[in-house]
Structure 1
Amino acid sequence: MKLCGIELKGNDAVLVVLEVSDEGPKHIDFPTRKIALGDSDNAADVICFQKEIAAFFVSNNISKAVIKKRAKKGKFAGGPDTFKMEALIQVIPDLEVELVTPQALAAMEKKQDIIYPNSLKKYQEVAYLVGVWVTKYSKY
């Protein structure tokens, strides 16, 4: 099974694909590492983002997306574009979507010795953690 860990940052969806097997999660390095939402006030850009990310999931046989949840209020609140991107991903047909809190990720990092693959870019580390979290603490 393939799943995609996602961190929503600014107007980018940072993507990390993991192949899940009995040996554990394995990072699959795709040329597409992030997909950007253009002008979130422009309906054509919003539709384009959803079509592009849905096509990425379909063409790479990804059956589950896991998104790092953002705070709705307070100092670390997510920007409006990230909430729009999250909703657009959640309504993609035939895609299971799960959200994971930053607190759950931090707890996992303390308990687990996370080794990042060499093929991972630095900006993908949080998305990688999101994917690893679901393989260890959730039913996938």
Structure 2
Amino acid sequence: MRVCGVELKGSEAVICMVSYKGDSYNVPECRRHSFTLSDHEGQEAIREFHFAFHKLLEDYHVDEVAVIAREYKGKQAGSASSFKLESAIQLGNTPVVMITPQAIRAQNKRNPPLVDFAVLELRKFQQPAFEAAYAYLTQKRFAKD
């Protein structure tokens, strides 16, 4: 199973893919690390984001998408453009699940990754997306056991 973790920050979607097969987790090579929405008010920009994101999911045979949930109001609330990105992600054929930061921390505390993040060939800004994908995969894996 391959999961794409997504962290939405402003008008940017940072991604990281994690796959689980047999008894091992892998972080496959990916041509993109993030998507930026150039014009959050323009319909064409949203369509371009939607197409590019879902083309990547299709090309890499992603089974599910795990998006880090954001607050709707208050100081930690997500921006309007991040919610537009979320909608564009959810409109595809790939199942999308929202996972809270608290659930990610709890799951990764129970089942920490067996490799240090620094060893993975990922950029530092991808760490939250990696943690979301890994937490979701381990949650699904141990739910079946």
Q: TM-score, normalised by structure 2?
A: 0.88
Structure 1 CA distance for aligned equivalents of residues 120 and 138 of structure 2: 21
Deviation (angstroms), 1:88: 0.7
Q: Deviations over 1:10-45 (max 9, x none)?
A: 111111111211223211121211111111101111
Partner of 2:103: 104
Structure 1 CA distance for aligned equivalents of residues 137 and 57 of structure 2: 18
Partner of 2:85: 85
Unpaired stretches in structure 1, ≥5 consecutive residues: none
Deviation (angstroms), 1:106: 2.0
Number of residues paired by the alignment? 139
Judge which range, 24-33 or 96-105, deviates more.
Answer: 24-33
Is the 1:19–1:26 contact (alpha carbons within 8 Å) kept by the matching residues of 2? yes
Q: Deviations over 1:41-82 (max 9, x none)?
A: 011111111011011111111121110000111121111111
Which one has the bigger helix percentage?
2
Which one has the bigger strand percentage?
1
Unpaired stretches in structure 2, ≥5 consecutive residues: none
Structure 1 CA distance for aligned equivalents of residues 89 and 57 of structure 2: 10
Is the 2:108–2:135 contact (alpha carbons within 8 Å) kept by the matching residues of 1? no
Q: TM-score, normalised by structure 1?
A: 0.91
Aligned counterparts, 1:1-140, within 5 A? 1-92=1-92, 94-114=93-113, 115-116=116-117, 117-138=119-140
Judge which range, 62-71 or 22-31, deviates more.
Answer: 22-31
Q: Which secondary structure state, in structure 2, belongs to the residue aligned with residue 19 of structure 1?
A: strand
Two-structure CA RMSD over aligned residues (Å)? 1.6
